[in-house]
Amino acid sequence: MSERPDYLPEHIREKLFHDPRVAEQDLKVDVKERRVLLGGNVSSLQLRHTITEVAQELLPGYEIVNETTVVPATEPGDEEPVI
């Protein structure tokens, strides 16, 4: 990748957002040396794995550390009442 190092995290975040397999806009991306740290909340374990795979495709040879948290989406009406 020929991006300036300081632009690389935003470039990867944008690529993940626009990839139809991921389409997550609130992911956090940090790149240090040859290590990519991914963070944020995702709706499923499968999506978490997919994000790792796509990041590996985008940055072959980089270590991908996926620290996203799986937070299943709730349907309207499924929320616990606040007392």
CATH number at residue 35: 3.30.1340
pLDDT at 1 over 60: no
Our count of domains for the chain comes to 1
Task: Output the pLDDT for position 73.
Answer: 75
Mean pLDDT, to the nearest integer, of 45-57?
95
Residue 29 within any structural domain of the chain = yes
In this structure, of 1-5, 16-20, 26-30, 36-40, the range with the lowest mean pLDDT score is: 1-5
- Across the chain, what does the average pLDDT equal? 86
Residue 77: burial class (beta carbons within 10 Å; 0-12, 13-18, 19+): exposed
Task: Output the pLDDT for position 64.
Answer: 95
Task: Output the pLDDT for position 15.
Answer: 92
Expressed as residue numbers, the domain containing 65 is 8-70
Task: Output the pLDDT for position 40.
Answer: 94
Contact criterion met (CB below 8 Å) for 8 and 55: no
